[in-house]
Amino acid sequence: MKLHEFLSENKIKLESDLLNLCEDGINIMRESIDDSHNHNHVYRLFDFAHNLINAEGEDVSEKLNFDIFVPAICWHDTWKAGRFTNDSLKVFIFDQYWDGLGSARKFSKHIKTYYPTMDAKLYKEIKYSVRQHGGLSKSLFGVKNIETKVLCDIDTLDLWSMKRIKSMADKYLNHEHVNKRSRGIVRYYVKKYLKVDDDKFHFDWSKSEYLKKIKPILNEVEKILQKIDEIILEKEENNFEL
């Protein structure tokens, strides 16, 4: 779901500067060199946000400040958009930890350059959500406001997007690049990110979405791992024959 669709479907009005700021974030995402963190990731988060806001039994909508929440969605992965996790496990882990911090820095620079008169409190709140959504900041300090809690839940839910898993598979199953390290990255990703405790979520709706998604996704990942093993074996046999 695109930005304007999300706003109109949920009757959210943003001032023109905030709207431009959101578009700026999405434009950075559109140029992303990482398929799993591009503008489509942002659009999928709008889908999740829309579903959560309208879920029966959740009263999130009345509590959310959309002036914070919407720009935070658009900017949260702008740093990752410029990173391409190659087959180095070290780079991959570094990227996971630096995630929120990198985007928050990028966001700050952008505000100072293009929106210097932005309300200081609002600026701080958006920056907080962007920084705390992932990596080191989240694990060290947790999250305190509802905007960041929703962002964390929907961002985590997108880990179990079949589309995203398949685009990762395309990246890691590129015959030329498959090796034991790429298998290590996929295994690390499964252990650390796919199999999470459902108490990691802040809302009942997110928990039930997670439980619906996890099984088919783990089956798909298992197929990817088998394929990686086959390619590695084939490569080893070819090397042996040479």
Name which of 21 and 72 has its Cβ closer to Fe ion: 72
Site for Fe ion in 176-205 (CB under 5 A): none
24 is a site residue for Fe ion (CB under 5 A): no
Nearest distance from residue 78's CB to Fe ion, in Å? 10
CB of 77 to Fe ion, least distance (A): 4
User: What would the x/- binding string for Fe ion be over residues 139 to 158, using CB under 5 A?
Assistant: ----------------x---
Residues, the chain, total? 242
Classify residue 134 by its DSSP letter: S
Return the structure tokens found at 137. Answer: 């900041």
Nearest to 133 by CA among 159, 113, 112, 110: 159
d(CA 90, CA 185): 9
Q: Are 132 and 143 in contact (CB under 8 A)?
A: yes
CA-atom Rg of the chain in angstroms: 19
Among 34, 77, 87, 147, binds Fe ion (CB under 5 A): 77
Of positions 24, 67, 87, 99, contacts Fe ion by CB under 5 A: 99
Write the CB contacts of 186 (distance below 8 Å, at least 6 apart in sequence): 168, 172, 221, 224, 225, 228
Q: Which stretch binds Fe ion (CB under 5 A): 1-9, 22-30, 74-82, 193-201?
A: 74-82
Among residue numbers 116 through 135, which ones bind Fe ion (CB under 5 A)?
134
Q: 127 to each of 67, 76, 121, 147, how far by Cα in Å?
A: 12, 9, 10, 11
Cβ-based nearer residue to Fe ion, 34 or 178? 34
Taking Cα atoms as reference points, which of 2, 193, 235 lies closest to residue 95?
193
d(CA 137, CA 100): 7
Which of 24/77 has CB closer to Fe ion? Answer: 77
User: Site for Fe ion (CB under 5 A): how many residues?
Assistant: 4
Nearer to Fe ion, 87 or 99 (CB): 99
Q: Which stretch binds Fe ion (CB under 5 A): 14-22, 77-85, 107-115, 229-237?
A: 77-85
Q: Report the residue closest to Fe ion, judged by CB.
A: 134
| Residue with Cβ nearer Fe ion (13 or 192) | 192
In angstroms, what is the minimal distance from the CB of 154 to Fe ion? 9
Q: Which is nearer to Fe ion, 18 or 42 (CB)?
A: 42
For 22, which DSSP code?
H
Taking the C-alpha atoms of residue 167 and residue 113, their distance in angstroms, rounded to an integer, is: 34
Choice between 34 and 99, CB closer to Fe ion: 99
By CB under 5 A, name the binding residues for Fe ion: 77, 99, 134, 155
